[in-house]
A and B are shown apart, each in its own frame.
Chain A
């Protein structure tokens, strides 16, 4: 990945399922919008072409670790070019729920080579802040498995043949992903957040860190809206 010098800022959150990262990012979005930043919560809308291929592969269980990795990289490249990069060039604060690190963690947990998958995503800009919401495995598993009907095949890592029981497989798979995240913390300079703290406390800390990053940041001005006079 490369260090960007776009006028915008890229802030991303990472963590295993059930780490609370999406909740925190939503709250951060509200905060920045209220403070008059032009901010975009990156919605992961895939291009329909890639999306139908991914769904087909998942439904038919066609995907191997390599093709799983490649099809998700295809999808990511599409979103990057059509969504994230234009916004960063325009000076927007872009918030992304998951980024390349999800692929690094998940794909290496599936057994692809760590350097191979890093090279695959070398066309992506490094984020300005990468928050890693860290929770112990038991906490995340508990959050995910309560009130959830059924784990999907690839989501549970069933393709790895770790266990025939989806819940057991999911746990073993998440354990590998968690290890991979921990291993990347130093490599990519993650800002580690304790995901077991109360939501408010985490959010306060997150806002402090973001405030510091955005000190002196101009960004894109808000559009002038004239009030209609009757």
Chain B
């Protein structure tokens, strides 16, 4: 059991109490295999007798419809979209993550604020502003960073349904085709995540290897914490 730690001002209007569970985050760029690993981790933890709860972007009941529509091309300005994502994050934190942690669950989060920082920073949003906005965010127990090079992502995109508008950062006008844009955009995202890996103490795992090899590493890191 432990008292919650926040990145900034936290949630001053409520007392969270003690958190009996643990918050595990799996970070990494699009198509790196986060959901595959998260599913394996959930199965493994549950087979060990731990209750798990999973969360990820755009799953808040409050903002889901709005964010889904925004992705379908109803464009919002960069600040607006950034704040919309922050709303989604805060809603899931207060209404899902914290209650699950209090109840003793292991929460598996498919990305966390770091991915939002990366996508926003690439779009020119002030990093210091973002850091303070996310001052309400809980510090996770462990952040597992699935690290690859863009070259490792491309084959996975091709075999997995092709290039996606948002995953390629086409809204930034970086290139006139999805392939070039994807490479430039994801390279920048990876660079941002690399910087944060140091700053926020991620545990970096080489995700260019087989699913099983990556999974074994993730398990090892989680066992150190539980």
Instruction: Mark A residues whose CB is within 8 Å of B.
Output: 47-50, 52-53, 56-57, 60, 62-67, 70-71, 73-74, 77-78, 80-82, 110-113, 115-116, 119-120, 122-123
Contact = CB atoms under 8 A, between A and B. Distances in A.
B91 A81 contact: no
B12 interface: yes
B195 interface: no
Contacts of A80: 79
B141 interface: no
A52 B66 contact: yes
Interface residues of B, number: 31
Interface stretch (B21-29, B68-76, B148-156, B168-176): B68-76
Contact of A49 (B76, B95, B135, B136): B76
B226 interface: no
Q: Do most interface residues of chain B lie in helix, strand or loop, or is the interface mixed?
A: helix
Q: Do most interface residues of chain A lie in helix, strand or loop, or is the interface mixed?
A: helix
B79 A50 contact: no
Given A64-B90, A123-B129, A116 B80 contact: no
Contact of B79 (A63, A110, A116, A123): A123
19 contacts: A49-B66, A49-B69, A49-B74, A50-B84, A53-B62, A60-B61, A62-B61, A62-B95, A64-B90, A70-B86, A70-B90, A74-B84, A77-B79, A78-B80, A80-B79, A82-B77, A111-B14, A120-B132, A122-B129
Contact of A111 (B13, B74, B129): B13
Interface in B121-143: 129, 132-133, 135-136
Given A62-B95, A67-B87, A50 B129 contact: no
B213 interface: no
Given A49-B69, A62-B95, A71-B87, A110 B77 contact: no
A146 B52 CA distance: 52
Contacts of A49: 66, 69-70, 74, 76, 84
B103 interface: no
A62 B133 CA distance: 20
Contacts of A62: 61-62, 91, 95
Which of B9, B12, B80, B94 has the most CB atoms of chain A within a 10 A radius of its CB? B80
Contacts of A82: 77
B208 interface: no
A204 to B, nearest CB: 38
A84 B1 CA distance: 49
B154 to A, nearest CB: 33
Given A71-B87, A122-B129, A77 B80 contact: yes
Contacts of A116: 8-9, 132-133, 135-136
Given A50-B66, A53-B66, A67 B9 contact: no
Nearest to B68: A49
A81 B78 CA distance: 10
A119 B80 CA distance: 15
